[in-house]
Amino acid sequence: MSPLARRDETMRSVARKERKQGAARRRRSPRAARAARPPEIEIVVASPLWHARRRVKTLVRRAIAAAAAAVAAGGGELAVVLTDDAAIRALNRDWRRQDAATNVLSFPVGTAGAGRGAPRLLGDIVIAYETTQREARAGGRPFTHHLAHLAVHGFLHLVGYDHAADAEAEQMESMETAILAALRIGDPYGRSLRLAR
């Protein structure tokens, strides 16, 4: 076969392959494509306390991407605010009528208001540094493991999980434990669990 004939055959082969791949992409539903990609996450460091910790943004992104994959809630946008106890106490007081600092707050947007083609807004997660650090120490856990747990917990609230009733709490805790195990983080509720290898 001449070099020109080989080149033509190679080009035809590549074209056939591209047509097959394009047809496969068209057959996938938009929902499946959306579920396959992680949400876009904006992380705002609103307290200088967080600068003492390295790679917290990467850790939070990984934890949320794992949670999104576990619940097939891909795509969308959310913001994570890394703040301090004073700021989260004010939010907790204003939004939940509880005048105390807490570890994490979630503010889901819901499904209304997203126009066709517009990104789906999931909401905001706010995490307090001092409470996260205090709880990690009290529980004998690495700070990073507790932070990943709070990011997962906050994300699950954004996509509709809750823990107001016992059955809901069990389901949410089970989901958190499985997601964290996939990240090689032990059970945050202290139950015995083999880590994923």
Structural domain 36-182, CATH architecture? 3-Layer(aba) Sandwich (3.40)
Residue 170: pLDDT over 60:
yes
Residue 15: pLDDT over 70:
no
Q: What is the pTM of this model?
A: 0.77
pLDDT at 185: 95
Q: Which one has a higher pLDDT value, 111 or 59?
A: 59
Average pLDDT of span 42-70: 96
Contact partners, residue 161, CB within 8 Å, separation at least 6: 71, 168, 171, 172, 175
Which phi and psi angles does 109 have, rounded to 5°?
Answer: -85, -35
Instruction: Specify whether the CB–CB gap between 85 and 101 falls below 8 A.
Output: yes
Domain boundaries of the chain, sorted by first residue? 36-182
Residue 120: pLDDT over 80:
yes
Question: DSSP code of 1?
Answer: -
Residue 192: pLDDT over 60:
no
pLDDT at 155: 96
pLDDT at 3: 53
CA distances from 147 to 56, 64, 127, 135, 144 (A): 8, 11, 8, 10, 5
The predicted-structure confidence for 67-96, as pLDDT tens digits, reads as follows: 999 998 778 999 999 999 999 999 999 999
